[in-house]
Structure 1
């Protein structure tokens, strides 16, 4: 609901017109207005910035600037006019008034045809719009604050968890190394489980931090050469590939796109890691990366020869902590594909999967060629 005493800025150099508007506004059965007035565009801009009105009645022809120039001065950092502006035009100026609406005004009224009724309707609509916009801004501010609180909590939690985790890891490694011969088979098994669990917890903390960081950092769009980026990722996995015998085959002509290099890196690091983990037990992992253009986008496909995914899980696997297999069978935290989905969304793209159980999966990433 809008407040019952909304503020109106009347910006008009004609005192008779301002007097008419005031008399009309006194007749409105819905609101009791707080009216502020200015005779020039310069004074009107200063007044609007000070008052932050619910509605502006703006004469198109002012002594110093016209309505279009006034609207241009009102534009905020988001590129929009933050107030509901009703242009007051003369007969024959309707075309100019329509141009003003394209520049950010909400409505226009012809002075010679104005009645209390059509003035009230225009102002009521303006007040409703202002109320909705302010409510949305408040909601966005609340969300931003909550996001900041969540991020701060995640960092604090990670810090607080890592301190005792380091102690547990350090002491368990000492026991594993220095007391290996003293322990019986059961004791060694228990210590190995502790060391492994510590490693998993450390990875989980890292993945959680990556997930919370990913949407709170400033995005820097620039050309990203996928050929270079993917070859660097594969190179960083060289030891792992040699140890397991797995192969990653990249298309020779991978394109250059526009995007945030950190987000793009997160996408393909996690997709390649996923493909290398979920291979069939009796086979080495094989991953092939290809691509094609799709209008203003490029589609990159990562095809593997892994265990496959049932169709009912196509959407669920991109949810955080969604795992289809136990940690004992396939290691992981259940966050990697959620990071992929978040990074692709922030990049203005799409990600999806097509798969056949026992045969393999195809992950598709559709990314814009230009800044979105």
Structure 2
């Protein structure tokens, strides 16, 4: 629903034309308008920023600037014009109309051809679009605030769970090690389950903290040598890779990309870890990293010969806490690939997967290149 008393800014140096616009609009039975007027472009821009009107009636020819320069002066920090603007001119000029629409005007009217009817239609459309935009902006602000609150809550919750979890883990390990002879088989089994559950919970908290930290840390962009970074990751994960008896091959010409080292590290750590988890038990695990250039972006491919993913799950696996298998088959928290997607999005990139169930998966990570 639009406001009952929309605000109109009339920016025109001709007092006769301004009077005509007011007289026309006073005939409108849908709205009761509030009018503000200025005769020059610079004063008109200041007025619009102060009043925040629902619609601007803008004369193309002003004493100090033209209508296109006026539109440029309205552009906000997001690069858009936050007001609905109807450009007015003394004669029909298709080139000016096209330029005005490209520059952010919502409509274009010729003064000599104007009637109350076509002015009403233009302003009604402008008001409806302005109201819809403000509603969407308000919803977006509310959603962002709620997301921030949820992330802050998740971070605080994960942090506060640390202390009691350490106590449970410590005491259960003491029972498992020092009192196992006093327990029967069922008792030892139960204690072992507690220890395993504590380990799983500890990993879940680690992954949740990693995910929430992404939103709370500053991003530092710089050139990143992807080949060197991947080799460092492989060295740091050597024990994990050896346990899985995995063979990893890396292209020697991995490119320089432009991004945040920590975020890029998280992307490939989690992708490699994912491949090591979802491997086929009877085959040697093989991973390969290669890449190709797509314009100003590098697309890195990480291919494995694991269990694969059905096409219907391609999008789902990147959602938080989404898992396709039980923990008894493939341990995990359902956060690793969500971290990959979040980090890639923050870097202005994209991640997707192609897979054949039973044969393996290829993850693609598209990142900006460091092009000098």
Q: TM-score, normalised by structure 2?
A: 0.89
Matched, 1:353 2:369: no
Aligned to 2:126: 126
Distance 1:215 1:353 in 2: 28
Distance 1:144 1:216, change over 3 A: farther
Aligned to 1:327: 327
Aligned to 2:108: 108
Distance 1:316 1:108 in 2: 45
- How does 1:1-372 map onto structure 2 within 5 Å? 1-91=1-91, 95-180=95-180, 183=183, 186-215=186-215, 219-294=219-294, 297-310=297-310, 313-346=313-346, 347-357=348-358, 360-370=359-369
Distance 1:366 1:185 in 2: 48
Distance 1:370 1:60, change over 3 A: farther
Equivalent pair of 2:298/2:369 in contact (CA under 8 Å): no
Distance 2:260 2:135 in 1: 31
Q: Secondary structure of the equivalent of 1:77?
A: coil
In the TM superposition, what whole-angstrom CA distance separates every residue of 1:301-342 from its partner, at most 9, and x where no partner exists? 322233444555444433433334332332211222233334
Equivalent pair of 2:355/2:362 in contact (CA under 8 Å): yes
Larger deviation, residues 73-82 vs 185-194: 185-194
Distance 1:190 1:40, change over 3 A: same
Equivalent pair of 2:305/2:361 in contact (CA under 8 Å): no
Distance 1:129 1:206, change over 3 A: same
Distance 1:50 1:154, change over 3 A: same
Equivalent pair of 1:87/1:100 in contact (CA under 8 Å): yes
Equivalent pair of 2:90/2:112 in contact (CA under 8 Å): yes
Larger deviation, residues 114-123 vs 181-190: 181-190
Distance 1:94 1:281, change over 3 A: closer
Distance 1:365 1:258 in 2: 17
Q: TM-score, normalised by structure 1?
A: 0.89
Distance 1:290 1:183, change over 3 A: same
Q: Secondary structure of the equivalent of 2:279?
A: coil
Distance 1:323 1:82 in 2: 42
- Give the superposed CA RMSD: 2.6
Distance 1:39 1:319, change over 3 A: closer
How far did residue 80 of structure 1 move? 0.8
Structure 2, unaligned runs of 5 or more: none
Equivalent pair of 2:344/2:367 in contact (CA under 8 Å): no
In the TM superposition, what whole-angstrom CA distance separates every residue of 1:173-227 from its partner, at most 9, and x where no partner exists? 3334444555555544433332221121011112223334445655554433321
How far did residue 141 of structure 1 move? 0.5
Distance 1:310 1:131, change over 3 A: closer
How far did residue 42 of structure 1 move? 2.7
Equivalent pair of 1:301/1:362 in contact (CA under 8 Å): no
